[in-house]
Amino acid sequence: MSYTFDAVIKNQLGIHARIAALLAKTVSKYDAEAYILFHGDKINIKHLIDVISLSITQNSIVEINVEGKDAAECSKELQYLIENSFGEMS
């Protein structure tokens, strides 16, 4: 099963180390692989340094693709995290 969604990164600092780690930790809980697509690059979310190197800033639009047995649940949790600015904005 595969799920894809677009998301706007709303938090002020974009995707930095803490957020990249949170994304990787979230995906690791599931039997799934997740990828972030940005400016033509497709990066496995579990690869922290590669995700950080994308330099995703505030208001950037990214595509998230989740594949695997638990793709639906993983996708749902990733969407929640992104929509709620990873808990960084009140």
**pLDDT tens digits, 14-45:** 999 999 999 999 999 999 999 999 999 999 99
Please tell me what DSSP assigns to residue 11: S
Whole-model pTM: value is: 0.91
| Residue 79 tokens, joined | 């969407």
| Residue 44 tokens, joined | 């496995």
- Residues with catalytic roles: 16
Please tell me the CATH code under which domain 2-85 is placed: 3.30.1340.10
Q: Is the pLDDT of residue 78 over 60?
A: yes
Q: Is the pLDDT of residue 90 over 70?
A: no
Q: Is the pLDDT of residue 88 over 80?
A: no
| Residue 50 tokens, joined | 């590669």
**Domain locations in the chain?**
2-85
| Residue 41 tokens, joined | 């690059």
Digit-coded pLDDT (tens) for 48-68? 999 999 999 999 999 999 999
Distances (CA, A) of 8 to 29, 64, 84: 23, 11, 11
Query: What CA–CA distance (Å, rounded) separates 73 from 79?
Result: 10
| Residue 89 tokens, joined | 């904005």
Q: How many CB atoms lie within 10 A of CB 25?
A: 12
